[in-house]
Amino acid sequence: MPRAFASGQIAFGLVSIPVKLFSATEASEKISFNMLHKDCGNRVQQQLFCPKDERTISREEVVKGYEFSKGQYVLFSEEELKMIEEKSTQTIEISEFLPKEAIDPIYFAKANYMAPDKGGERAYSLLAKALEQTGRWALAKYAARGKQYLVILRPLENGIVMQQLFYPNEIRSMAELDLGEAIVKDNELKMAVQLAEMGAADEFHPENYRDEVAERTRALIQRKIDGEEIMSNLVEEPKAQVIDLMEALKASLAKPRAKSSASSSSAKTSGPTRIAPKAEPKRTPAQKVAKAGSRSR
């Protein structure tokens, strides 16, 4: 059973909805490695070191500072930092309802699930259904842990997700990148659109995908636990080549589209199972002569 990490209330007009917040992601699924002493195998401890005094210092000797110029800092005490912090009201105050298409996913940060707290089930369900029916997301402010967050409340499977957003100043502009000034030809665009339509799907099925790197890492870890010696089998990746765009598009369109894993698995389970004939192993010329001789006898 998931455990709530915080509780709060949604301010929806004159309606107050008590809610609980749950993490939407599974931290235990993340693979992490610890830093160990190579000789004894124990975990190493990180220490605070002052390069000017050339000694290790304690945490009581540490203060926080902001670098306003290269190598120059203004110092803050813990009391001053607490004055800056936002007062945690645990209130999720809705300011407006926006069409879901109005918010680009680049603003999406961390997501948390929301569930109704005691007495809030009816109002919670009402808000979730209203968001679903209108196709709108609720934009709100949320103050917690000394910070103020910009969030949206969006419906998902009869529930509500609180999606934390980045502020505009946290998003880099595409104008910072050199995108070139390439001219797209009409026939190239037509073929590219045709290629996209060939691979089009109406629904997103994340269950058809898996983290192959994580699976490979877990398998490698288990082999190490079992005492197996691991040999490197890394193959140098071929360098990217500059290819003719039109020829690449034509080749892509001519290539038969691979079936999805879901459809291929269903095809395997339907109908009678056919067993392919066992391929005869290749023989050397001497073996062929010996076999022919045995037949003549």
> Are 67 and 73 a contacting pair, CB within 8 Å?
yes
The burial of 107, by beta-carbon neighbours within 10 Å (0-12 exposed, 13-18 middle, 19 or more buried), is given as middle
Residue that the structure tokens 């401890």 belong to: 45
The burial of 115, by beta-carbon neighbours within 10 Å (0-12 exposed, 13-18 middle, 19 or more buried), is given as middle
At CA 206, angle to CA 142 and CA 195, rounded to 5?
A: 115
- Residue 19 host element (H or E): strand 15-23
Q: Which residues, other chains included, contact 136 with Cβ-Cβ below 8 Å and sequence gap of 6+?
A: 97, 98, 99, 100
The Cα 91–Cα 143 span in angstroms is 7
- What pLDDT was estimated at residue 82? 82
Domains, the chain, with CATH or none: 6-28+89-170 (2.40.290.10)
> Are 249 and 184 a contacting pair, CB within 8 Å?
no
The Cα 254–Cα 12 span in angstroms is 55
The residues that bridge with 23 in the sheet, in sequence order, are 112
> Are 112 and 164 a contacting pair, CB within 8 Å?
yes
- What pLDDT was estimated at residue 217? 84
Stretches in the chain below the pLDDT threshold 70: 27-28, 86, 233-243, 257-297
- What pLDDT was estimated at residue 197? 87
Longest CA–CA span in the chain (Å) reads: 102
Strands 55-57, 6-12: pairing is unpaired
- What pLDDT was estimated at residue 134? 95
Q: Which residues, other chains included, contact 65 with Cβ-Cβ below 8 Å and sequence gap of 6+?
A: 73, 74, 75, 76
- What pLDDT was estimated at residue 92? 92
Q: Which residues, other chains included, contact 106 with Cβ-Cβ below 8 Å and sequence gap of 6+?
A: 166, 171
Residue that the structure tokens 């699924």 belong to: 29
> Are 94 and 140 a contacting pair, CB within 8 Å?
yes
> Are 7 and 21 a contacting pair, CB within 8 Å?
yes
- What pLDDT was estimated at residue 177? 87
- pLDDT tens digits for 44-68? 988 899 998 999 999 889 999 999 9
- What pLDDT was estimated at residue 240? 56
The Cα 56–Cα 46 span in angstroms is 10
The residues that bridge with 149 in the sheet, in sequence order, are 142
At CA 276, angle to CA 273 and CA 282, rounded to 5?
A: 165
